Structure 1
Amino acid sequence: MPDHKEFSRVLFVAADAWRYGGRDGRQQAELQEALVDAVNAAGQASGLDPASWERQDAGDGFLAIVRDNGAELALVDPFVRELNAWLARFNHVRRADTRLRLRLAIHHGGVVPAACGYAADGAVHVGRLLNSDPVRAALDAVPEANLVQVVSESIYHGSVRQCLTDLYPEDFTEVLVDMPGKGFRAAAWIRVPGTSAEQLSSLTGPETLAVCVRRPDLPAALADSVGRAALASFDAAGISAVEKISNWDNDFVVPLSAPDTGSRVLGVWVDHLTRALAEAGCPAMSIGIDSDVAAARQLAASQAAAAIFAGAADAPPVLIVSGEVHRRFVAGSSARMVAPESFRRVGTEPESWLRVPGYSLPPEPRPDRPAPTPAWAPASAPHHGPVSNIGQATIHGDHITGNVYRDGRMA
């Protein structure tokens, strides 16, 4: 049984060579030697001592524990920079299929010495990041790249986001490492030296967005109006090649042919759609957006949207996006009309984010307030009593039409 007194928090560095298994014995031996030389040279050039690292070698890579408390900043920035430069020189005279290309993961977490190496969460976490689909996809997406770097949440927030290195937060692309079969789910940040975060996001993210515009009790006559309004809004926002895939919930697939298409969908298109729905007399719509059609439908039909309809007097449209879409197109975005600060997180399993156009923050659900009467509902019975006007409101006895403002605020 591990001795809890031996528990400590350390830095983890893990590396894996690209397409190692498909090489012959001589090529594998050359690659192993080159990997050791690359790490030693990059470590020495960045003020580190790789010889002092506790390493578990695996032929095509390694897991190393770095106990130097001052090593984190050097590992995240100069070590990776020097490693990339060494690999560039090594690969310059080699055929594309014989190059040494690396996935490199860095994490700060717990460790306990164990019979077969190390126990506790740290070694597992860095291994999951190293072997995750987004990291593999990044290296495949940039064939000229020598390495892809991935850092855990603890590293990103502790070093990068605090601007303690020469790297900037916008140099990294946030991804979700989701391995349900292994019970692992965590945020991570990836970077390919020489490739901008925007380029990397467009290469490694989904190639399409699924959009669902929905209102469960919408009459058939208005459903066609919603579909036409949504399609016209895509054209108005400069988004082409949109495919309508269903006539039931007004579902659309948007090809992401340019890096800014997703941001334009969440910003300019939502603005055009909001105005078009208001003109069509059906503003109370929910809009779900994800990379998967079924997930977009679930978002549009979620309880979070229904709660907004019941809690906001003016029954505005509601935009709900998945965690993946939020991370890729909303978080940290400066795109026109996206406004990251106007989104509120409404779920964790799965994660989703909500925005109500026209509100700086989405209104909180108000279960004590009845749901608004939709624009297509039959007119209510006339009210009797004295008629008077206050500002933008008309009072018919005990019934008020419009908004009453008091001291500049709506009563």
Structure 2
Amino acid sequence: MHLLGLIGRHLIKRGALRIALPDNTIESFGGGAPSVTMRIHDTATMYRLLANPQLALGEGYMDGRITVENGTIYDLLDVILANAEWAIPGGPLALLNDRLRVLARRAIQFNPAPRSRANVAHHYDLSDRLYELFLDDDRQYSCAYFLSPTDTLEQAQAQKKRHIAAKLLLSAGQKVLDVGSGWGGLGLYLSTLDRIDVTGLTLSEEQHRVSNARARDAGAADRVRFELRDYRAEQGRFDRIVSVGMFEHVGLNHYDAYFSKIASLLADDGVALVHTIGRADGPGATNAFIQKYIFPGGYSPALQEFLPSIQRAGLYVTDVEVLRLHYAETLKHWRERFNRNKDEIRALYDERFCRMWEFYLAGSEATFRYGGHVVFQVQLAKRVDVVPLTRDYIGAFEAAHPLPDVVAPVKSIAPISRQAAE
């Protein structure tokens, strides 16, 4: 216990953290606001926190062996990560665990096509109703783009789609490939812009079903279709390629193959845009809780980890934008909506699932505020002269295009049974 006290006294400089121990003694660290109390209900959990805090904190909260008093799980993580400079601290064994996870990350991120499909199903083929209860009507499950702190989630997601479209430099009749097309919102929006033809790729059976139903409902099936296919199996040529929130699932071992495939699919005068979570603090390893329970096989890379693969594929990096706190604000909206609908989500699953997802959303938000995570938008081309010399075209496109309406809202798609979907 002495070690836990030393860590707390060294760590908490802003706000206050009280730790209620299994023997009912209280350790207090820091002072002032915000103030939160973490109660540890058993000795085994206390020692797990010292050995592997990333995993033990999430598992302890999920299983009810750690509870939060005079605050929420977000308040607890806010205090810890705001003070911790990009990491949840632990004892010497925790440092060893962190180093071992970095060494093992290539094995953990080995994602051939069958494993990629299983990883996607683990997260994205959950109940359709779950996502309806915390996402916007377009079901955009990636970082929104906030022009103002007062933007609604719906505004910010519409701004994200328009911002991406601006960077794609679209022209009438072009063919667009959307790698990791989700529930189809971006592809459907792009298809409304001057006879654009869109092919979307997903590995989620549920997303495949919903996105194609949305295309049919919108009367757009002649110009936009969504395929249940791995990007490595795609053939043909496309004028534009976009990938939003998918690169995090590729894995370090596959970056050369990914960008080589992008290069082979992209027309000589084409433009591609990769929108991905990334690390401002350099290479690392996926959070142990996120890896085990939320996104198996996933990893958010530092720029230096994938830029060499872009270069080896013969592609130019024509623009990089770093969205810093946009994802923290997006996750705040998701977390608040999730909590408002917790009773219904608990009825869909159970209390343990709710606590697992509470920890995931709260921990992700705190990580984007304090933990060195950002979003990169990397624009690519085969030729150096394809993209204008200045970035003025982005603002010009956005000024000329009103915010898009949601094309065939996901809530309008009647659910069908999993057997029917298969």
Same fold judged by TM-score > 0.5? Answer: no
Give the structure, 1 or 2, with the largest relative contact order (CA under 8 Å, sep 6 or more): 2
- Larger strand proportion of the pair: 1
- Larger helix proportion of the pair: 2
